[in-house]
Amino acid sequence: QPFNLRVPGGVQSISKPGKIYDIQYMQFFQADLLRGVGLRNANSAPGAGRRVLAQTMHDPLTDNAPTGNPNAPGGSVRIANDGSVAAMVPARRAMSWQTTSPAGDPVVRERYWLSFQPGEIRTCANCHGVNRADQLNRPASTNPPEALRALLRHWKTNNEATLGTIAIGEGNFPTVKFKRQAAAASLKQKIEYSNDLAQWLPASEYRANGATHVGPLVELERITGAFEAITLRDTQPAEGRRFYRVRTERE
Of 129, 156, 183, the domain-final residue: 156
Let me know if residue 161 belongs to a domain.
Answer: no
Q: What is the pLDDT of residues 198-218, one digit of tens each?
A: 888 877 766 655 555 545 455
How far is the C-alpha of 159 from the C-alpha of 103, rounded, in Å? 30
Let me know if residue 237 belongs to a domain.
Answer: yes
Length of the chain counted residue by residue:
251
Give bridge partners of residue 29 from the DSSP assignment.
56, 96
Q: What is the pLDDT of residues 98-141, one digit of tens each?
A: 999 999 999 999 889 999 988 888 888 666 567 788 778 888 77
* C-beta neighbour count of 240 within 10 angstroms: 6
Phi, psi (degrees; rounded to nearest 5) at 229: -90, 120
Residues 126 and 211 reside in one and the same domain: no
Average pLDDT over all residues of the chain: 76
SS3 of 75, please?
A: coil
Number of domains in the chain: 2
Q: What is the dihedral of CA 98, 99, 102, 103, to 10 degrees?
A: -30
Residues 152 and 171 reside in one and the same domain: no
Looking at residue 239, which CATH number applies to its domain?
2.60.40.10
Among 162, 190, 206, 159, residue whose Cα is nearest residue 60: 159
Q: What is the pLDDT of residues 22-38, one digit of tens each?
A: 999 999 999 998 876 66
Residues 36 and 94 reside in one and the same domain: yes
Of 125, 156, 187, the domain-final residue: 156
Contact status, residue 22 vs residue 106, Cβ threshold 8 Å:
no
Q: What is the pLDDT of residues 31-84, one digit of tens each?
A: 998 876 666 666 777 667 788 889 999 987 788 988 999 999 999 999 999 889
Give bridge partners of residue 201 from the DSSP assignment.
193
Residues 87 and 200 reside in one and the same domain: no
Alpha-carbon 147 to chain mean position: 13
Residues 58 and 129 reside in one and the same domain: yes
Residues 82 and 191 reside in one and the same domain: no
Residues 182 and 205 reside in one and the same domain: yes
Of 132, 156, 180, the domain-final residue: 156
Residues 131 and 187 reside in one and the same domain: no
Place 226 in a pLDDT band, splitting at 50, 70 and 90.
very low
Residues 17 and 108 reside in one and the same domain: yes
Structural domain harbouring 227: 166-250
Q: What is the pTM of this model?
A: 0.64
Contact status, residue 23 vs residue 5, Cβ threshold 8 Å:
yes
Mean pLDDT over residues 17-23, rounded? Answer: 87
Dihedral over Cα of 151, 122, 97, 52: its sign: negative
